[in-house]
Amino acid sequence: MCELLAMSANVPTDICFSFAGLMQRGGNTGPHKDGWGITFYEGKGCRTFKDPKPSFDSEIARLVTNYPIKSEAVVCHIRQANAGPVCLENTHPFTRELWGRNFTYAHNGQLADYKERLATTKYIQIGSTDSEQAFCWILEQLKRKFADTRPSDEALFRYIAELCDIIDEHGVFNLILSDGESLFVYCSNNLHWITRRAPFGPAQLIDADVAIDFKKETTDHDIVTVIATQPLTKDETWHKMQPRQWQVFKLGEAMLASN
Protein backbone atom coordinates (compact mmCIF):
# COMPACT_ATOMS: atom_id res chain seq x y z
CA MET A 1 0.00 0.00 0.00
CA CYS A 2 0.92 3.67 -0.11
CA GLU A 3 2.68 5.72 2.57
CA LEU A 4 1.61 9.00 4.11
CA LEU A 5 3.51 11.94 5.58
CA ALA A 6 2.20 15.16 7.10
CA MET A 7 3.34 18.00 9.30
CA SER A 8 1.68 20.55 11.57
CA ALA A 9 3.82 23.33 13.08
CA ASN A 10 3.34 26.53 15.06
CA VAL A 11 5.83 28.43 12.89
CA PRO A 12 6.62 28.09 9.18
CA THR A 13 8.86 25.02 9.03
CA ASP A 14 10.42 23.02 6.23
CA ILE A 15 9.91 19.27 5.93
CA CYS A 16 13.13 18.55 4.02
CA PHE A 17 14.54 16.14 6.63
CA SER A 18 11.44 13.94 6.84
CA PHE A 19 10.83 14.08 3.09
CA ALA A 20 14.42 12.99 2.42
CA GLY A 21 13.64 9.77 4.27
CA LEU A 22 10.21 9.22 2.76
CA MET A 23 11.34 9.68 -0.86
CA GLN A 24 13.73 6.73 -0.46
CA ARG A 25 10.72 4.48 0.14
CA GLY A 26 9.40 5.44 -3.30
CA GLY A 27 11.25 2.77 -5.26
CA ASN A 28 14.48 2.38 -3.28
CA THR A 29 13.96 1.14 0.30
CA GLY A 30 10.25 0.56 -0.34
CA PRO A 31 7.94 -0.58 -3.16
CA HIS A 32 5.92 2.64 -3.47
CA LYS A 33 7.14 3.50 -6.97
CA ASP A 34 3.90 4.63 -8.64
CA GLY A 35 4.14 8.35 -8.06
CA TRP A 36 4.26 10.85 -5.25
CA GLY A 37 2.97 14.28 -4.33
CA ILE A 38 3.24 16.95 -1.65
CA THR A 39 1.18 20.03 -0.77
CA PHE A 40 2.49 22.99 1.23
CA TYR A 41 0.12 25.57 2.70
CA GLU A 42 0.97 29.26 2.83
CA GLY A 43 -1.95 31.11 4.41
CA LYS A 44 -5.05 30.28 2.38
CA GLY A 45 -2.92 29.38 -0.61
CA CYS A 46 -1.16 26.11 -1.28
CA ARG A 47 1.42 24.82 -3.70
CA THR A 48 1.51 21.22 -4.85
CA PHE A 49 4.26 19.19 -6.50
CA LYS A 50 3.34 15.85 -8.10
CA ASP A 51 5.12 13.29 -10.24
CA PRO A 52 3.84 9.89 -11.42
CA LYS A 53 7.47 8.70 -11.41
CA PRO A 54 9.07 7.03 -8.36
CA SER A 55 10.08 9.64 -5.78
CA PHE A 56 13.50 7.98 -5.38
CA ASP A 57 14.30 8.81 -9.01
CA SER A 58 12.36 12.06 -9.41
CA GLU A 59 14.07 15.35 -10.17
CA ILE A 60 11.04 17.14 -8.71
CA ALA A 61 11.45 15.18 -5.46
CA ARG A 62 15.10 16.19 -5.33
CA LEU A 63 14.05 19.81 -5.76
CA VAL A 64 11.62 19.53 -2.84
CA THR A 65 14.29 17.87 -0.70
CA ASN A 66 16.80 20.64 -1.36
CA TYR A 67 14.43 23.63 -1.45
CA PRO A 68 13.35 24.48 2.12
CA ILE A 69 9.74 25.55 1.56
CA LYS A 70 8.44 26.67 4.95
CA SER A 71 4.86 25.89 5.91
CA GLU A 72 2.66 25.33 8.95
CA ALA A 73 0.78 22.43 7.31
CA VAL A 74 2.03 19.84 4.82
CA VAL A 75 0.41 16.74 3.29
CA CYS A 76 2.51 14.18 1.38
CA HIS A 77 1.90 10.77 -0.24
CA ILE A 78 3.91 8.13 -2.09
CA ARG A 79 1.86 5.69 -4.12
CA GLN A 80 1.79 1.95 -4.64
CA ALA A 81 -1.02 1.68 -7.17
CA ASN A 82 -3.85 -0.78 -6.54
CA ALA A 83 -6.74 1.07 -8.22
CA GLY A 84 -6.40 3.14 -11.36
CA PRO A 85 -3.41 3.42 -13.70
CA VAL A 86 -0.18 5.21 -12.85
CA CYS A 87 -0.73 8.75 -14.14
CA LEU A 88 -0.77 12.32 -12.90
CA GLU A 89 -4.53 12.55 -12.29
CA ASN A 90 -4.36 9.53 -9.98
CA THR A 91 -1.44 10.91 -7.97
CA HIS A 92 -2.15 12.11 -4.43
CA PRO A 93 -2.66 14.44 -2.68
CA PHE A 94 -5.96 15.73 -4.06
CA THR A 95 -7.16 19.29 -3.39
CA ARG A 96 -10.68 20.73 -3.67
CA GLU A 97 -12.31 23.97 -2.51
CA LEU A 98 -14.89 23.99 0.28
CA TRP A 99 -16.11 27.05 2.23
CA GLY A 100 -13.49 29.22 0.58
CA ARG A 101 -10.53 27.07 1.60
CA ASN A 102 -8.37 24.47 -0.09
CA PHE A 103 -8.94 21.03 1.45
CA THR A 104 -6.10 18.60 0.73
CA TYR A 105 -6.48 14.85 1.14
CA ALA A 106 -4.29 11.75 0.94
CA HIS A 107 -5.28 8.12 1.56
CA ASN A 108 -3.39 4.93 2.26
CA GLY A 109 -5.28 1.67 1.78
CA GLN A 110 -7.67 -0.06 -0.59
CA LEU A 111 -11.47 -0.01 -0.71
CA ALA A 112 -13.83 -2.65 -2.11
CA ASP A 113 -17.52 -2.52 -3.08
CA TYR A 114 -17.54 1.22 -2.50
CA LYS A 115 -18.86 2.71 -5.76
CA GLU A 116 -22.56 2.56 -4.91
CA ARG A 117 -22.16 3.47 -1.23
CA LEU A 118 -19.79 6.37 -1.98
CA ALA A 119 -21.53 7.65 -5.10
CA THR A 120 -21.56 11.43 -5.63
CA THR A 121 -23.41 13.91 -7.83
CA LYS A 122 -21.78 17.26 -7.02
CA TYR A 123 -18.13 16.44 -6.44
CA ILE A 124 -16.95 14.31 -9.37
CA GLN A 125 -13.57 12.62 -9.39
CA ILE A 126 -11.07 13.54 -12.08
CA GLY A 127 -9.04 10.35 -11.96
CA SER A 128 -10.08 6.74 -11.41
CA THR A 129 -8.98 5.82 -7.89
CA ASP A 130 -11.00 4.63 -4.93
CA SER A 131 -9.09 7.24 -2.90
CA GLU A 132 -10.31 10.24 -4.86
CA GLN A 133 -13.89 8.94 -4.92
CA ALA A 134 -13.85 8.68 -1.13
CA PHE A 135 -12.59 12.27 -0.93
CA CYS A 136 -15.37 13.49 -3.20
CA TRP A 137 -17.91 11.63 -1.06
CA ILE A 138 -16.61 13.20 2.15
CA LEU A 139 -16.83 16.69 0.66
CA GLU A 140 -20.34 16.06 -0.62
CA GLN A 141 -21.51 14.84 2.79
CA LEU A 142 -19.99 17.90 4.46
CA LYS A 143 -21.77 20.18 2.02
CA ARG A 144 -25.08 18.41 2.57
CA LYS A 145 -24.85 18.55 6.36
CA PHE A 146 -23.43 22.04 6.87
CA ALA A 147 -24.49 23.79 3.62
CA ASP A 148 -22.63 27.05 3.00
CA THR A 149 -21.48 27.71 6.56
CA ARG A 150 -18.42 26.07 8.00
CA PRO A 151 -19.17 24.63 11.45
CA SER A 152 -16.92 24.74 14.49
CA ASP A 153 -13.76 22.67 14.31
CA GLU A 154 -15.13 20.18 16.83
CA ALA A 155 -18.40 19.66 14.92
CA LEU A 156 -16.56 19.44 11.60
CA PHE A 157 -13.93 16.93 12.57
CA ARG A 158 -16.18 14.74 14.67
CA TYR A 159 -18.48 14.42 11.66
CA ILE A 160 -15.54 13.69 9.36
CA ALA A 161 -14.53 10.93 11.78
CA GLU A 162 -18.03 9.44 11.48
CA LEU A 163 -17.69 9.48 7.70
CA CYS A 164 -14.28 7.81 7.96
CA ASP A 165 -15.80 5.01 10.06
CA ILE A 166 -18.29 4.39 7.25
CA ILE A 167 -15.60 4.31 4.57
CA ASP A 168 -13.39 2.09 6.72
CA GLU A 169 -16.06 -0.61 6.54
CA HIS A 170 -15.13 -1.02 2.85
CA GLY A 171 -11.47 -1.81 3.42
CA VAL A 172 -8.39 0.00 4.70
CA PHE A 173 -8.72 3.77 5.12
CA ASN A 174 -5.77 5.63 6.62
CA LEU A 175 -6.43 9.32 5.96
CA ILE A 176 -4.79 12.73 6.18
CA LEU A 177 -6.93 15.82 5.53
CA SER A 178 -6.04 19.48 5.95
CA ASP A 179 -7.50 22.91 5.21
CA GLY A 180 -4.19 24.64 5.89
CA GLU A 181 -5.01 25.40 9.52
CA SER A 182 -5.97 22.05 11.01
CA LEU A 183 -4.61 18.61 10.17
CA PHE A 184 -7.01 15.66 10.61
CA VAL A 185 -5.61 12.12 10.71
CA TYR A 186 -7.60 8.88 10.83
CA CYS A 187 -6.02 5.49 11.41
CA SER A 188 -7.48 2.35 9.92
CA ASN A 189 -4.52 0.10 10.63
CA ASN A 190 -1.19 1.93 10.48
CA LEU A 191 -0.23 5.51 11.37
CA HIS A 192 2.43 6.95 13.67
CA TRP A 193 3.12 10.45 14.97
CA ILE A 194 5.71 12.39 16.93
CA THR A 195 5.66 15.89 18.41
CA ARG A 196 9.01 17.64 18.69
CA ARG A 197 9.47 20.53 21.13
CA ALA A 198 12.18 21.94 23.39
CA PRO A 199 14.53 20.54 24.50
CA PHE A 200 15.29 19.42 20.94
CA GLY A 201 17.87 16.77 20.14
CA PRO A 202 19.43 14.87 17.26
CA ALA A 203 17.67 12.41 14.95
CA GLN A 204 18.80 9.88 12.33
CA LEU A 205 16.71 8.78 9.35
CA ILE A 206 15.97 5.08 8.91
CA ASP A 207 15.99 5.12 5.10
CA ALA A 208 18.94 7.42 4.40
CA ASP A 209 22.30 8.22 5.91
CA VAL A 210 21.09 11.61 7.05
CA ALA A 211 21.10 13.03 10.56
CA ILE A 212 20.06 16.37 12.02
CA ASP A 213 20.44 18.22 15.29
CA PHE A 214 17.06 19.92 15.70
CA LYS A 215 18.47 22.15 18.44
CA LYS A 216 20.55 23.97 15.82
CA GLU A 217 17.56 24.37 13.48
CA THR A 218 14.85 25.52 15.93
CA THR A 219 14.00 27.92 18.72
CA ASP A 220 12.72 27.00 22.17
CA HIS A 221 9.22 28.04 21.13
CA ASP A 222 8.92 25.74 18.10
CA ILE A 223 6.42 22.87 18.13
CA VAL A 224 6.34 20.47 15.19
CA THR A 225 4.24 17.32 14.82
CA VAL A 226 5.03 14.82 12.06
CA ILE A 227 2.66 12.02 11.04
CA ALA A 228 3.84 9.07 8.96
CA THR A 229 2.69 5.59 8.02
CA GLN A 230 5.88 4.16 9.52
CA PRO A 231 8.39 5.97 11.76
CA LEU A 232 11.02 7.84 9.77
CA THR A 233 13.75 8.04 12.42
CA LYS A 234 15.55 5.32 14.35
CA ASP A 235 16.37 7.18 17.59
CA GLU A 236 13.08 8.85 18.53
CA THR A 237 9.90 7.58 20.18
CA TRP A 238 6.96 7.56 17.77
CA HIS A 239 3.37 7.00 18.90
CA LYS A 240 1.40 4.30 17.08
CA MET A 241 -2.28 5.06 16.54
CA GLN A 242 -4.94 2.41 17.11
CA PRO A 243 -7.55 1.26 14.56
CA ARG A 244 -10.35 3.84 14.16
CA GLN A 245 -8.47 6.33 16.30
CA TRP A 246 -8.40 9.91 14.99
CA GLN A 247 -6.69 13.14 15.96
CA VAL A 248 -6.65 16.77 14.91
CA PHE A 249 -3.45 18.81 15.11
CA LYS A 250 -3.26 22.59 14.86
CA LEU A 251 -0.06 24.63 15.01
CA GLY A 252 1.77 21.48 16.08
CA GLU A 253 -0.43 20.69 19.06
CA ALA A 254 -3.04 17.96 19.46
CA MET A 255 -6.35 19.82 19.40
CA LEU A 256 -9.03 17.12 19.26
CA ALA A 257 -8.99 13.34 19.47
CA SER A 258 -11.30 10.36 19.53
CA ASN A 259 -12.59 9.39 22.96
Which residues have a catalytic role annotated?
A: 2
How far apart CA 6 and CA 187 sit, in angstroms, is: 13
Q: Is 162 helix (H, G, I), strand (E, B) or coil?
A: helix
Q: Is 95 helix (H, G, I), strand (E, B) or coil?
A: strand
How far apart CA 237 and CA 176 sit, in angstroms, is: 21
Give CA separation, 214 vs 64, 65, 200, 211, 229, in Å: 19, 17, 6, 9, 22
CB 4 within 8 A of CB 18: no
How far apart CA 201 and CA 181 sit, in angstroms, is: 27
**Residue among 12, 20, 17 at smallest CA distance from 212:** 17
Structural element, H or E, at residue 8? strand 3-13
Amino acid identity, residue 169?
E
CB 23 within 8 A of CB 244: no
| Burial of 253 from C-beta contacts in 10 A (0-12 / 13-18 / 19+) | middle
| Burial of 219 from C-beta contacts in 10 A (0-12 / 13-18 / 19+) | exposed
- Report cis status (omega within 30 of 0) of the bond before 199: yes
